[in-house]
Amino acid sequence: MRATISLGRIAGVRVGVHWSVLFILALIALGLAEGRLPRTYPGESRAVYWSIGLVTAMVFLALLLAHELAHAVVARRNEVGVDDITLWLLGGVARLRTEARTPAAELRIAGAGPLVSLALGAFFALVAWLLGQTGAPGPVVEALAWLAAINIVLAVFNAIPAAPLDGGRLLRAFLWWRTGDRLRAAAGAAAAGRGFGWFLMLLGVLLFARGDIVGGLWLVMIAWFLVAAATVEGRQAQLRAVLAGVPVRDAMTPDPVAVPARLTVADFLADPRYRYRHTAFPVTGEGRVPLGLLTLDGARKVPEARRQAMTAEQAMTPLPDVTVVDAGDPLADLLPELVPGAENRALVTEGGLLAGIVSASDVSRAVSWLMAARKSGGRTGREGG
């Protein structure tokens, strides 16, 4: 899930919003302004209901962000890199750069979000109760009570032991601790996620058949997301098993064609070395020190009138926003980063200097080669026995 709108950085983490968030904000505001608030406290103007509904929806978005930031902060404290946070239709996603090193770290990272949501639910419940005792406007108290309830529901739902929910990571931490096998634990959590997703799918169909069209469709949509995401996690666990023990240097393209930082965008686009071989190139300074990544699409977006004056360093994606790994790092840890796309490449360094570049296709080739080698070895072993 990629962000459509960037909100900058919070606590050093890139935060973005997917366009689908607009749908959920509108749905929350509509449900409160045209349903819950006037039904519970009639007599106010529609402007009052809609104002409270819109503010409540925005606060809910901020609380989702707090949930994901809790994961990110705890992850960093446990030496797990965090790429970004994206808020979207069904909540939020904190994209971790690497895996937790121990089951205990996995437990802390996974549990941080539900604990924060639970604490926020208790806080808003207390505030709603206090304001209710002081005679505050009823719609305001009701909106706070709704925020309290939705945060508690969010905490409880996320604690269900099924990937990709936080509870799935808690289950993975437990299975990892119990078996000592992280990959096997990830596969178990993914299987639980698919099972839970199909259960929700069946429940949604039953609701739809009984006449609850909105509730049924909503459950089916959540179930579809859970099944799809759990399937992806299961495949990643299988790929990690295949890539176990393989360093990045075995899959990277060594000594890639690099773009000098001071080369102009016009010269970059005109040079055949950059036009026909690849779609993204490392930008380097003196001595092959990596500075960032420049894509052909990014260079072409520079207006023609500015291409002679703008350098590759000015047009590139800067190094802090690019995945950088050491040649000896485990290739499996790169899997969450390398999705298809020109900009989704990892720069590989050795001794601080550029040594190679890795794309999703490089990893696919490595996986294909390893699986073919294993099948060939398996056949040889059986024939010899």
Catalytic center residues:
68
Residue type, 62: A
| φ, ψ at 290 (rounded to 5°) | -70, 140
Residue type, 285: G
Q: How far is CA 331 from the centre of its chain?
A: 19
One DSSP character per residue, 189-218 reads HHHHHHHHHHHHHHHHHHHHHTT-HHHHHH
Is the separation of the CB atoms in 32 and 13 below 8 Å? no
Is the separation of the CB atoms in 347 and 335 below 8 Å? no
The four Cα atoms 34, 40, 42, 45 give a dihedral, to 10 degrees, of -40
* Count of residues in the chain: 385
State which H helix or E strand residue 346 sits in: strand 346-350
User: Could you tell me which of 73, 115, 67, 74 has the C-alpha nearest to residue 91?
Assistant: 67
Is the separation of the CB atoms in 161 and 153 below 8 Å? no
Q: Which 3 state secondary structure label does DSSP give 210?
A: coil
Residue 169 burial (CB count, 10 A)? 25
User: Could you tell me which of 301, 285, 282 has the C-alpha nearest to residue 345?
Assistant: 282
- Pairing label, strands 280-284, 13-17: unpaired
Look-up of token digits 């799935």: 168
User: Could you tell me which of 100, 92, 359, 152 has the C-alpha nearest to residue 251?
Assistant: 359
Is the separation of the CB atoms in 231 and 256 below 8 Å? no
Task: Report residue 199 as tokens.
Answer: 């259960």
Is the separation of the CB atoms in 113 and 70 below 8 Å? yes
One DSSP character per residue, 232-260 reads HHHHHHHHHHHHTT-BGGGTSEES---EE
